[in-house]
Homo-oligomer: A and B are copies of this chain.
Amino acid sequence: MEPGTVRMETFSDGIFAIAATLLVLEFGIAHNGDLGRHLLHLWPSYLAYVTSFVTIGIIWMNHHHTVSLMGRTDRTFLFINNLLLMTVAFLPFPTKLVAQYLQGDGEQAATLTYAATFVLMSVIYNAWWRYASGGRRLIAEGVPDSALRAVSRAFDPGVPMYGIVFVVAFFSPLAAVFLTFAIAAFYLPSAALFDRSGQP
């Protein structure tokens, strides 16, 4: 009577991979002047590209791991998952803003938009996990509580960390972007640690 997780995963995987690949469209090309110098001055674009790409990769890995702990879904959960995908698919836009405005006029507005997207994403992602795990609502039989606590420990710092990025963006847009990158680097090992099933 309650929906399984397979279809949700298929749709989600497609969105993650496409959003990551669309990031490259942020790179604009100057129409005059020296191309070599222009390409070197594009470093905010490279930084934004790497930061967003790694972050999407990590969200994807965590999504896969946590879904593997679930045995079913319900309508509320599918709704929250749709909201989560909507923020992931939106990411190429604030990434492009950072790429084009960092170190120039408008860098504060660009970075605040970038940080706000991540705050929103982490809030939704936390709600997504709390709804699924609360009272083991959607958790499969046989998953030990310790596994759930491990996931919760990884989710907990997400919102505060991205909240700090948002505050930092008011004072130093550049530092905010580097901090976003550092968060991705921070999550990388734990993301990989999660991912311990997956054999066909």
Q: Please give me the residue from chain B that is nearest to A108 by CB atom.
A: B36
Are B78 and A195 interface neighbours, CB within 8 A? yes
Which one of A15-23, A127-135, A174-182 is at the interface?
A15-23
Give, as a whole number of angstroms, the nearest-CB distance from A166 to chain B.
Answer: 14
Are A90 and B24 interface neighbours, CB within 8 A? yes
Are B17 and A14 interface neighbours, CB within 8 A? yes
Are A188 and B17 interface neighbours, CB within 8 A? no
A95 vs B82: C-alpha distance in the bound complex, in angstroms? 18
A110 with B192: in contact, given A4-B199, A20-B89 (CB under 8 Å)?
A: no
Chain B residues near A13 (CB-CB < 8 A) = 10-11, 14
A200 vs B6: C-alpha distance in the bound complex, in angstroms? 7
Interface positions of A from 18 to 56, Cβ below 8 Å from B? 18-25, 27, 29, 34-36, 38-39, 49-50, 53-54
Dominant secondary structure at the A interface: helix
A193 lies within 8 A of chain B by Cβ: yes
For A4, A23, A108, the residue with the greatest tally of chain B CB atoms inside 10 Å of its CB is: A4
A153 lies within 8 A of chain B by Cβ: no
A4 with B75: in contact, given A35-B109, A90-B24 (CB under 8 Å)?
A: no
A49 vs B93: C-alpha distance in the bound complex, in angstroms? 12
Are A93 and B27 interface neighbours, CB within 8 A? yes
Are B29 and A18 interface neighbours, CB within 8 A? no
A69 lies within 8 A of chain B by Cβ: no
* Complex partner residue of A192 from B14, B75, B109, CB under 8 angstroms: B75
A188 vs B85: C-alpha distance in the bound complex, in angstroms? 15
Chain B residues near A85 (CB-CB < 8 A) = 20, 53, 57
9 inter-chain pairs at a CB distance below 8 angstroms, sorted by A residue, are: A3-B192, A18-B22, A20-B89, A24-B92, A25-B25, A29-B96, A53-B86, A75-B188, A75-B193
Pairs of residues from A and B, 4 with the lowest C-beta to C-beta distance, nearest first = A75-B192, A14-B17, A35-B106, A36-B109
